[in-house]
Structure 1
Amino acid sequence: MEAVPLTPNGKVDRAALPAPDFAAGRSEYRAPRAGGESAVAAAFAAELGVAQVGADDNFFALGGNSLTATGVAARLRESTSTEVPVEWIFTHSTPESLAHRIETREAGRVENDGAGSAVAVLLPLRAEGSRNPLFCVHPAIGLAWCFTGLVQYVDNDRPIYGINSPALTDPDAHFGSLDDLARRYVREIRSVQPHGPYHLLGYSVGGQIAHAMAVQLRRDGDDVTLAMLDSRAPSEAAFDEEMPTAARLVAEFGGVELDEAESAMTAEQAARLLRAKGGLFALLTPDHLETLYRQYRDLVLGARTHRPSTLEGAVVAYFSAATDSTDDHDLDRETGAAGWREYIIGEIHEYQIPTSHEQMTSPQGLSVVGPLLDRHLNLADRERGVPE
């Protein structure tokens, strides 16, 4: 579509949107082999309501996300009598690759059964494709899992990588500033794409980090496309907000409801609660949770003291949360793209997204952000003469 249809109130006119065609970006159909591939394809189809799933179809490109991945794991547990960790669907997202992963465990050939690659600094959400990749920088929680839903909207020939906090695989990793962390992430993305143009996306505090990365890449002479999801620039005002407890973070990001008695739970208690609930966050150990809380605290404090350098010559898109947040404990920030005008020289394309800050990467949020982001990336490539 040339533009997203809006109602007179400026909200997305969903009634005017065409029905989604998840088959449009799929690989040429190849029937799954009998056995493991067929079992995985059947689980994908049942959970996503898709009539037919091929051996090479990507779960996230079909419309899957971290929530529906939990349902797939439960279905496979029943149909194969094998415990399938949800994180395997992140790193083995086709029936062929996931079936091979399951068969490898059954044969006794262990391939990193822990959280492992799901918390690696560079997490390939889709490694295949000939176009320049999209790199997605985590929010303050330090995990890039929230970006999985983008796979179904972004050109299927464009690789997508999430960037997780290094602290999850190296608890001793510490960074003195967001600029230091950005330098580490620039090294990471250059390991898979040595030269630009680069496409960066950051959510919340991740947008500040992505902006710092873009500044460094531009200084090196690389072209950059920067997209920011409600990543408001810090203001000069005092920060009086109380830092959330570890239990509150578990409740918010793990989708767990806590009563007052549980508000002071330990990391061990939180890990047990997440395991009981199931889902992707069930793979996190008490050590992971303690690291995530420290990471969150350090990133928020770092963001409060960060003063961005000026970015010039980049193509910039800013996605604003148009719905007021009911629990914005993040930062005292300027609203929308206006707060970044002094740090970005050039045009900022701003899009109003009908959701709250916390729901920007929810399935509903990404259903609006995803198509707009894909169009923005493709236009930037076209203007630079990058072959399609």
Structure 2
Amino acid sequence: MVPAAFVQLSAFPLTPNDKLDRNALPAPNNEDFASEAYEEPEGEIENLLSSIWAELLNIKRVGRNDGFFVLGGHSLLAVRMISRIRAMLSFEISLRTLFEAPTIAQLAPRLLATGAAHDESYDVLLPIKPQGSRPPLFCVHPGTGLSWCYTGLSTQLDPDQPLYGLQARGFIDNGKMASTLDEMVLDYIDQVRQVQPHGPYHLLGMVQEDEEDEDESSQQQGLIQMFFGDTDQYSPDMMNPILKRASIVGNNNGRIGRQQGPQVTSGDVVIFRATVLEAKGRTMLNADDWKAHACGAVEVYDIDYAHDYMDLPEPTAIIGRILSQKLAERHRNREKEE
């Protein structure tokens, strides 16, 4: 919950309706970011990492002891940084490595040590933050099949809260994918029980509109935007195999999802509803639709962002704060019962 930057204002800019005018807030200057005392990068690897971070974070200089996430990095920027490192340095790096070694001084030797080792960023069970004694929070992938969008929660939840992602098969095991939703669910149950043999279980996921398969070109444009930010930073030799695989996995997820209707859960449901509609024809999620599928309580929290941007730092902080409260309540209740 530590802010990435501190900007002093004489007053908050307001809209005509006396609400915070987010668009009028000034962007942080270089000196506004929370950083360690500047220490110049050492060696070729550290200097290349410094230049990559400075470009992605829009900061003039990055010291070897500055933390990527402290400087304002988030999950999308982490993905782009990983792809840039792969393209420029030919090193493989996982998201977990970045969380364990968030400064340039820590990351450079890890790159040299791992080299082209297996990248666990595509494993079915993604250990975003495995440390902690509480029951883990398991995050089920969106349509793309990857759970990288949840990585920002690792800095927002209680330090004792483990966090894992569940990712679709298709990026490993020679591209083999689940053929039915039941097959996928049973696979994920096995993965969850490797970490937590017994319940209760905490699950987080994303609800997306039911759309027919997109053509490969349209899908790849969306994936390029996710991985690189804009198409100007993309070249076909950087991640084309991954983009093609993500397109195939996404279409498979949509197909098996349409084959089976939603069932009923005995637990409570907490909904984070995106209130900004991204395109004409889209409608806001109706929480009443969930009441027929949940025996427990259904709570709704409106997030003033579009669905595709719910993993940016500000909505992630809001969601993380609420999740922390809910998980803490469950933890206290469980301790009382024991």
**Is TM > 0.5 for Structure 1 vs Structure 2?**
yes
Distance 2:92 2:77 in 1: 10
State whether residues 144 and 250 of structure 2, in contact with CA within 8 Å, keep that contact through their aligned partners in structure 1. yes
* Cα RMSD for the two superposed structures: 4.7
Cα distance, 1:152 vs. partner?
A: 2.1
Query: Tell me, which stretches of 5 or more residues in structure 2 are unaligned?
Result: 2-14, 24-32
Q: CA offsets, 1:23-46, max 9 Å, x none?
A: 9xxxxx9xx9x9589879977996
Q: Partner of 1:167: helix, strand, or coil?
A: coil
| 1:299-338 matches, cutoff 5 A | 299-312=253-266, 314-326=267-279, 335-338=285-288
Q: Partner of 2:203: helix, strand, or coil?
A: strand
Cα distance, 1:202 vs. partner?
A: 0.5
Distance 2:89 2:70 in 1: 24
The alpha-carbon distance between structure 1 residues 38 and 171, as it changes in their structure 2 partners (threshold 3 A), is closer
Q: Partner of 1:373: helix, strand, or coil?
A: helix
Cα distance, 1:365 vs. partner?
A: 2.9
AA aligned opposite 2:234: K
Q: Partner of 1:350: helix, strand, or coil?
A: strand
AA aligned opposite 2:263: S
Matched, 1:363 2:313: yes
Which of the residues 323, 328, 339 maps onto 2:289?
339
Distance 2:17 2:260 in 1: 36
State whether residues 44 and 53 of structure 1, in contact with CA within 8 Å, keep that contact through their aligned partners in structure 2. no
Cα distance, 1:303 vs. partner?
A: 2.2
Cα distance, 1:181 vs. partner?
A: 1.0
The alpha-carbon distance between structure 1 residues 191 and 304, as it changes in their structure 2 partners (threshold 3 A), is same
2:239 alignment counterpart: 284
Which of the residues 122, 127, 148 maps onto 2:125?
122
The alpha-carbon distance between structure 1 residues 75 and 386, as it changes in their structure 2 partners (threshold 3 A), is farther
Identity score, percent: 30
Cα distance, 1:361 vs. partner?
A: 2.0
2:192 alignment counterpart: 189
Which of the residues 140, 145, 148 maps onto 2:143?
140
Distance 2:116 2:232 in 1: 22
Which of the residues 234, 255, 275 maps onto 2:225?
255
State whether residues 150 and 165 of structure 2, in contact with CA within 8 Å, keep that contact through their aligned partners in structure 1. yes
Q: Provide the aligned length of Structure 1 versus Structure 2.
A: 309
TM-score by length of 1: 0.63
Matched, 1:92 2:95: no
Distance 1:252 1:166 in 2: 20
State whether residues 53 and 81 of structure 2, in contact with CA within 8 Å, keep that contact through their aligned partners in structure 1. no
AA aligned opposite 1:92: L
Query: Tell me, which stretches of 5 or more residues in structure 1 are unaligned?
Result: 2-6, 16-21, 24-28, 206-231, 235-240, 257-269
TM-score by length of 2: 0.71
Cα distance, 1:290 vs. partner?
A: 3.2
Cα distance, 1:297 vs. partner?
A: 1.6
Q: CA offsets, 1:68-124, max 9 Å, x none?
A: 3378669989xxxx727584454333136523322325xxx6523xxx211111112
Cα distance, 1:360 vs. partner?
A: 2.0
Matched, 1:111 2:117: yes
State whether residues 117 and 123 of structure 1, in contact with CA within 8 Å, keep that contact through their aligned partners in structure 2. yes
Distance 1:14 1:143 in 2: 30
Q: CA offsets, 1:238-258, max 9 Å, x none?
A: xxx5532122122123218xx
The alpha-carbon distance between structure 1 residues 376 and 43, as it changes in their structure 2 partners (threshold 3 A), is farther
State whether residues 135 and 160 of structure 1, in contact with CA within 8 Å, keep that contact through their aligned partners in structure 2. yes
The alpha-carbon distance between structure 1 residues 157 and 191, as it changes in their structure 2 partners (threshold 3 A), is same
2:170 alignment counterpart: 167
| 1:224-263 matches, cutoff 5 A | 242-255=212-225
State whether residues 93 and 111 of structure 2, in contact with CA within 8 Å, keep that contact through their aligned partners in structure 1. no
The alpha-carbon distance between structure 1 residues 121 and 310, as it changes in their structure 2 partners (threshold 3 A), is same
Matched, 1:149 2:119: no
